[in-house]
Each structure stands twice: as structure tokens, then as C-alpha cells.
Structure 1
Amino acid sequence: MDYEIRPQRLRIPSGWNIYYSNFSNINLKDYINKPDNNNIWLFEGNEDIFQISKDDILIDLGWYPMYDPDGTYIIEVVKNLNWFKLEDRFKSQDKDKIVEKIENYLVHYAPYRPTKLKLEPLPAWIGWEVTYNRFFEIEEEHKNAALFYLSDKLLALQNNYHKIKVELGWFPKHSPYGVYRLSVFLAEQEWWFDSLDKEEIIDHLEEIMLSYNYIHNPASGFCTKQKHELNLSIDGIRRVVSGY
């Protein structure tokens, strides 16, 4: 196998809850004619790829017909669970267009400011709610204002299944000598990880999200609790915390 399955990264504004997800970095069209494509199609080539909700809006992504290489991605936007009268529908075999369209829907139904800055793409995985997001992707043209956006409250996630909260901030806030701090609140304890490397922070966030999640089973319609062990830091010391 020449692929590694990782969660798809999306720019998700505050307030969205990831109901379920098999949405990965894999582009289904890249594996149509490859001999090892069966596992790929079983994992992601189905009608239940991704679903995210906020208030009365639900965004659903699937591949139709299921497991069919001649099929296509379809996004459906539903209000008040009225599947007979869709808010919008979009289909494409182009994975990049699908990601862009989902992100456009997320912003449309949960606008944020400033609109000139894009949110940082984050791992989108089942069971996690983005309760607060001001974690922006700072491009070269906005470098001079970067410290203004580097506050001690950049991102907050929570997983109600496992009663775990994750927060990201820059400490000291607005300081050119600060660092990113990723904090995990679990069982009345705070664990944290400090780094200047944004990608390292996001990779660590992905590790946390994958360690505490529910796996959706499309066949049964139920979610199965996922158990892993997670390496975190407390007082700067790496320790192992067991999922429960």
C-alpha cells in the first residue's frame, strides 16, 4: 500500500459539531484503477463519509452510488432535518472542490470576522465540537498583524462523549517571545504541550482527536467507542494517558 489514511483537514468556524466522519486525506478518484483499492473504497467510498451540524443546519457528504468508481461525491445541506426540501446540493468527483464547497458552507452558516483571514485547517474527526475558533492562517501579507491575532485563546474543542476539552493559545499573548500551548483538560487535570512549530501543534491535536473519539459504523448506524493511549505532557514531562 502506498497511502496513509489521515483525517481530512477543514477550516471549521466556531459552533460546528462533527457528528460522524470517515472523511480522510484520500482522494477516491486516485485509486480507481489500482489493485489495492478495495480497502480504500470500503473505508470512504460509501454514503456516510462526513456529517457536521450547527443549530438547525446539517451538512452531509457521501459517495453515490456507494463503492462505485463511476460515482461522485455529493454534499447535501439540510435544515431542521427536512431531507425532502434541501437548502442546497452539490456534487463533484473533484475532492478539492468538495473540500472548498464544505468550507464555504461552514462560513456561510457561521460567519466569522475578520473575513480577510482564513482559519487554519484542522483535523475533522467524529465526536468533536469546535466551540471557539480564532486560529487563523497568517499569510505573508498579514505578517505585520500576526501578533495581534496571537492571543491566549485561539481555539477550543470539546468531546462530550469523553468529557475532554482541548484549548490552544499563545503564551504570553501577543508576545514576540511566546509559544503555542495546547492544553488538554481531562479528569480534573490539565495536560499541555508547548511548541513554536504550528504544524507540530496541529499534528499533536490530531493525535488527541484520534485518541478520544467514537467510530461510526454505517452498517448498524451506531457509534463504537474507540480506545487508545495518548502521549501528553504534564509539567513538561511526557506521560501516557489511557483512553476510557
Structure 2
Amino acid sequence: MTIPLVPLRFPIGWTIEWNIFTQVSPEDFVDEEYEHRWEYNEDLFQFVNYRQKRILDLGWYPEFQPNGQYRLVLIQENDNVDDQTNSWSDPIIKYETRSISDVINKIEELLIQVSEGKI
């Protein structure tokens, strides 16, 4: 069974590096026997806006665990490897929730704000 991706509205300027953010319900993920637990990993998507030099990244932490939550981070995109590493440890925005609808709203809000140069 193929699980559909979460539909997202993208403003101009974003590149999808990868996306496996599927329409599974965290409310159903109550134990490790959940058939879709593999959908909850640390690398759900990464979107890049090269013009604004921003990376938006979504994961589930701790991965594959029913007590986890979505973690959405917005970081500065850097050409220098050391600077990029520092960006991950000090994100511009970090947002955590178990609610799929809340994280979708936050994703779309950040996509627009970055595209408009507000963040």
C-alpha cells in the first residue's frame, strides 16, 4: 500500500531536495506495533530556498518511536561546511509538535515568510 504524501502549497523559489512526508496520523502511532511506524524517521523532508539561503527540514524525533514528535527547523544555508554544521546546532526557528495539521500550517507559513524575505 502506497501512502500519499502530505499536500503542501509552495511559493516560488523552493527546491525539494527530498520529501517522504506522508499522510499518516500520529494519533494512531501509540505503540511499536503500528504498521506505519517506518514513516516516522528523522528525514521526512528537506526544502531549500537558495535565493534566501534557507533550509527547511522536517523529521520525527526520536525516530520510529510512538512517544516522538515532529521537529521542523529553519536554518541558514551555507557553502562552508563548518558554518553549515553550526547552522544545524543553532537553527533560526525550531518548532515541535505531534499534530500533523499544526506542522502543516507551520510549514506553509515558513515557506511563505522565507519566500517574501521576512525570515
Under a length normalisation based on structure 2, what TM-score does the superposition of the two structures give? 0.81
Name which of 14, 37, 58 aligns with 1:41: 37
Q: Counterpart of 2:101?
A: 96
Q: Secondary structure of the residue that 2:22 maps to in structure 1?
A: coil
Aligned match of 1:19: 17
Name the residue aligned to 2:45: 50
- In the alignment, structure 1 residue 74 sits paired with structure 2 residue 79: no
In structure 1, the gaps of 5 or more residues are 112-244
Instruction: Select the structure that is richer in strand.
Output: 1
Taking the aligned partners of 1:57 and 1:6, their CA distance within structure 2 comes to 26
**Partner amino acid for 2:113?**
H
1:48-95, CA deviations, whole angstroms, 9 ceiling, x for partnerless residues?
Answer: 011101011000100001111001110011102321221100000000
Q: 1:69 to 1:34 in 2, by over 3 A?
A: closer
Give the whole-Å Cα distance in 1 for the aligned partners of 2:8 and 2:32: 27
Work out the CA distance in 2 between the residues paired with 1:84 and 1:34: 29
CA contact (8 A) 1:29 1:69 kept: no
Cα pair distance change 1:108/1:75, threshold 3 Å: same
Structure with greater Cα Rg? 1
Give the 3 Å change call, closer, same or farther, for CA 77–23 of structure 1 in structure 2: same
Query: In structure 2, do the counterparts of structure 1 residues 97 and 47 end up closer, same or farther at CA, with 3 Å as the change threshold?
Result: same
Mapped contact 2:32–2:65 kept (Cα < 8 A)? no
Report the TM-score when normalising by structure 1.
0.41
1:86 equivalent in alignment to 2:91? yes
Cα offset for 1:30?
2.0
The alignment of Structure 1 onto Structure 2 pairs a total of residues equal to: 107
C-alpha distance in 2 between matches for 1:31 and 1:4: 18
The equivalent of 1:29 in structure 2 is 27
Contact 2:56 2:75 in 1 (8 A): yes
Please state whether the residue corresponding to 2:37 is helix, strand or coil. helix
CA contact (8 A) 1:16 1:53 kept: yes
- Say which SS state the counterpart of residue 83 (structure 1) adopts: helix
Q: CA RMSD in A?
A: 2.0
Give the alignment of 1:149-164 within 5 angstroms: none
Where relative contact order (Cα < 8 A, 6+ residues apart) is larger, the structure is 2
Q: Secondary structure at the match of 2:109?
A: helix
Q: Is 2:26–2:99's contact at 8 Å kept on the other side of the alignment?
A: no
